[in-house]
Amino acid sequence: QVKLVESGGGLVKAGGSLRLSCAASGFTFSDYYMSWIRQAPGKGLEWVSYISSKNNYTYYADSVKGRFTISRDNAKNSLYLQMNSLRAEDTAVYYCAREAGIRVAWFDPWGQGTLVTVSS
Amino acid sequence: QSVLTQPPSASGTPGQTVTISCSGSSSNVGSNIVNWYQQFPGTAPKVLIYSNNQRPSGVPDRISGSKSGTSASLAISGLQSEDEADYYCAGWDDSLNGPVFGGGTKLTVL
């Protein structure tokens, strides 16, 4: 079945870096746009970044632009999020999600999420 | 402050119909499809309605979505205790060139 599994979360000090990974299975990964979406504790959903199916287009929310880098390796069916210069406000559960369409905010499925905690 | 506006809470008794609204603007809801997500505590969101009013397989027909102008709605009829969850609307925003979410609505079944 279609499955996404995130890893790489953990506790990091403000100013530090972390790299999240998302392993995809059960579908042709290279056919789909992918996104990272986060949820701060007790808060709502916030889209972070997306990447086109063939790696040639990326886009970021203003809150992470210049600090986060999304990438993918279609040969390894994997999505990544390199997070640098982390801030306390980046503390959240980070989900990877497959975009069922293009430019339609239709995410299906989502991974189980990985928790990133930034200590100040 | 979320780009799409939802009521923070909604409630109903078993069997009732509850409607959750999602208000946006011409750059998002007014010109693009709306999708709804359901999230239970400690779990990942799951798509409940896509393309304004389409249900994925497995979602019961007592759950429906609609859109008119710059507003969208999610309706749950025959309310059940298992519907108690958080609900989020989402859509593409042409001005921001990215997806936007509502702040979420916590549904309580009394």
Whether residues B99 and A59 touch (CB distance < 8 A) is answered with no
Which residue is associated with the tokens 């999610």?
A: B74
Residue A60 phi/psi, 5° resolution? Answer: -135, 150
Q: Does B102 touch chain A (CB under 8 A)?
A: yes
Give the pLDDT confidence of A81-93 residue by residue, as tens digits. Answer: 999 999 999 999 9
* B57 touches A108 (CB < 8 A): no
Q: How many alpha carbons fall within 13 Å on the CB side of residue A113?
A: 20
Q: What is the mean pLDDT of residues A23-39?
A: 97
CA distance B98 to chain A (A): 7
- For residue B92, the chain A residues in CB contact (below 8 A) are 103-105
**Contact residues, B window 35-74, toward A, CB-based 8 Å cutoff:** 35, 37, 43-47, 50-51, 56
Whether residues B98 and A59 touch (CB distance < 8 A) is answered with yes
Enter the tokens of residue A119: 């200590």
- For residue A108, the chain B residues in CB contact (below 8 A) are 46-47, 50, 56
* A55: pLDDT strictly greater than 80: no
* A120: pLDDT strictly greater than 90: no
Nearest to B99 among A105, A111, A113 (CB): A105
Q: What is the mean pLDDT of residues B2-18?
A: 97
Distances from the Cα of B38 to the Cα of A27, A59, A65, B107, angstroms: 23, 25, 28, 10
> How does residue A53 score in pLDDT terms, banded at 50, 70 and 90?
very high
- For residue B33, the chain A residues in CB contact (below 8 A) are 104-106
Average confidence score pLDDT of chain A: 96
Q: Does A46 touch chain B (CB under 8 A)?
A: yes
Question: What percentage of chain A carries pLDDT values higher than 70?
Answer: 100
* B102: pLDDT strictly greater than 90: yes
CA–CA separation, B65 vs B56, rounded Å? 12
Length of chain B in residues, anyone?
110
Give the pLDDT confidence of B61-94 residue by residue, as tens digits. Answer: 999 999 999 999 999 999 999 999 999 999 999 9
Q: Which helix (H) or strand (E) holds A79?
A: strand A78-83
Q: Does B33 touch chain A (CB under 8 A)?
A: yes
What is residue A19's predicted lDDT score, i.e. its pLDDT?
98
CA distance B72 to chain A (A): 15
Enter the tokens of residue A66: 């210049």
